[in-house]
Structure formats: structure tokens, C-alpha cells
Structure 1
Amino acid sequence: MKTVFLTVGTTSFDELIETITRSDVVQALKARGYERLVLQVGRGNVLPAADSCPHIELEAFRFKDSIAEDVRQADLVISHAGAGSCLEALGAGKPLLVVVNDRLMDNHQLELAQQLHADSHLLYCTCSTLTETLRTMDLAALQPFRPPQTKNFANFLDKALGLR
């Protein structure tokens, strides 16, 4: 069963959880052949019920000790732009769509998403452009992200965040 796994990490990103369960977004996922949606909702206030999306199988949870198995089983990972979540999905070799929280003030997450997109490792959008991105995305254009040495990743983050 073709599966999407969405993670917001340890944060709260209710706007993304509300957006992914809207009928237009679910229809865009269905049009791409996805039949199952697994949501890791973190500390947010929104925890959708399994029957809240009638056209797709839905599972939602707040936290697990590890999401590695959810990532491994996913055909597409949708994530907030946290470095840890991005690295976990990319390190597992999964196609990644990052949804940047454009309501954050000092948005270093946008810089990280832009740099990884510029290197063709992921696609990114905001909640307002998620439906269109799902409709038009070309996952075949993404390049594998080779798990870097810790020092290299730290240097990459410094570069992406403008610290170097």
C-alpha cells in the first residue's frame, strides 16, 4: 500500500496537520496513488481521528521512541523543516517534501530547505502551496543524499544557515 509519512518532530505545527487532512490535499495524494497517510503530530493540539479522512487510510500519533520504521515504510516523507527530521528521511533514502512553517520569525528552517532543494535532495513548499506542489512534484528529479560525516554535516548546516 503506497504510504505517506508526515512528521513534525517534537514541535507543534497544527497548520500542517490541518492542511494535510483537507479534502483537496487528500485528493492530490490519491491522484498520485497514495492510499495510506501516517501522521506524527508532535505537541500540537490537532490529532485527527482515523475516520476523519474518508478517502485515505489514516493513522495519527503524537510520539514514538523512534520513527525510523515509519520512515522506512513510507513511499514519500512529508516533514517540517527541522534538521533532524530532514536528515532522518534523507539518510533513509526517501523522497522528501519539506513544508516550511512560514509563521516562524527567524526562519532558519527555510534556509535549510532552500539549500537542500538547491542541491536537488528535496522539494519544499508552505502549507498554502502544498496541494499544488503535490500535484506537480517530480520525485524522480531528486538526487540521493549521501549520509555525510558529522563534521561535513555541521559544515553544511553552517553554510546553509549563513554562519560561514
Structure 2
Amino acid sequence: MTCRRRHCMRSMKMTYADTVFVTVGTTSFNELIETIISPEAVEALISRGYEKLVLQVGRGTVFPCPETCPRITLETFRFKDSIAEDMSKAHLIVSHAGAGSCLEALGAGKPLLVVVNDKLMNNHQLELARQLHSDSHLLYCTCSTLTETLKSMDISVLLPFSPGQPQNFANFLDKVLGVK
């Protein structure tokens, strides 16, 4: 079963458009948006065959227009009632490390690269990302390592997150956050 799951993750690129969806949730994470649209990061995406970048920028002050990244198709928005369609169309999801965004992306069955905001105090996001990475569900990095991660990542090693067990995820979060 594991080999089949890994095969599914590898074959996604042929099945879905070559789109990267970036989400910061309802927060402001300007550094992630600035980093993903940098010429170096865009070049890394293009070299991997990605053609479209869709940015959900939340409350941030950085709102890139299509002219910002002339070598890749760029769409930007702040909020939608649901980002499920954006996730379902994406080949790769790049997300902040918020629990809700991670769970939604993992539930969509897409390869997930989590960018931890290392500027936050008491960084529980790093704990969540580390655990889900150790379980082979996602890759993670910080803004300072994002471009290098985009260049070197291997999404074929990722295993799907088993949906339908929200209590297990809630218990896991409680444990990570020290609630239980």
C-alpha cells in the first residue's frame, strides 16, 4: 500500500496543472510572500516545471500584481469563503504552518511544503511541522531556506495524511501545544 501511495504522490504532476498555491491563512506573513515571488524562488519553480503561482496573502501588506513575476503566471487574492478549489487545482501547496491550513492542505491530498515563521515567539508551528515531517506527510523550511528547499525537494517521499480522524489530529495538537 505504501508504494501505491508514493506512486500517487509522484504522478500528481501529470494529473494536475503545474500550479503552486501559496496560503498564509488569515494571518499576515509578508516575508513568505516576498520570498516566494523573489527572482530566485520563481526561477526554482520554473526549473521544476511550474507555470502558475496563486497567492492567498491574507492580511499582509504585500499584494503582488502579475507584472511582479513576468516569467510565471501570477494570481493574488486576500481571502475567499473557501480555498478548497485552489488547493484541489494545485500541484504543490506552500503554506504557513498554521494548524488549520496544514490540515486542509493535507486533507486535499496534495504535496505540502510548510514555511515556518521563525519570527514568532514560542514557535509551536515548528513543533507541528517537525512532527508531520517526521511522519512523512510534508516538507518544511523557513523563509531563509525556501528557495533552496524548492530547488532540492523530493515530493515523492511524502505519504498521504489519513483523513477522517479529526480527534486524532486534535489529540496530536493538544500534545504538541502542551494542553494535555
State the TM-score, normalizing by the size of structure 2: 0.89
Tell me, in whole angstroms, the C-alpha distance in 1 between the residues paired with 2:34 and 2:26.
17
Secondary structure of the residue that 2:66 maps to in structure 1?
Answer: coil
Alpha-carbon distance in 1 for matches of 2:19, 2:128 = 25
Amino acid at match of 1:64: K
1:85 to 74, 79, 101: 101
Task: Map 1:1-150 onto structure 2 (within 5 A).
Answer: 1-150=17-166
Q: How many residues align?
A: 164
Question: What is the root-mean-square deviation in Å for CA atoms of aligned residues?
Answer: 0.9
- Which stretch of structure 1 is more off in the superposition, 108-117 or 142-151? 142-151
d(CA) in 1 for partners of 2:168, 2:141: 26
More helix by share: 2
TM-score, scaled to structure 1: 0.97
Q: Partners in 1 of 2:144 and 2:164 — Cα distance?
A: 32
Q: CA deviation at 1:160?
A: 2.7
Instruction: Report sequence identity in percent.
Output: 73
Structure 1: segments with no counterpart, 5+ residues: none
Q: Which runs of 5+ in 2 are unaligned?
A: 1-16
Cα offsets for 1:71-130 (capped at 9, x unmatched): 000000000000000000100100000000000011111110011001000000000000
Of structures 1 and 2, the one scoring higher in RCO (CA 8 A, sep 6+) is: 2
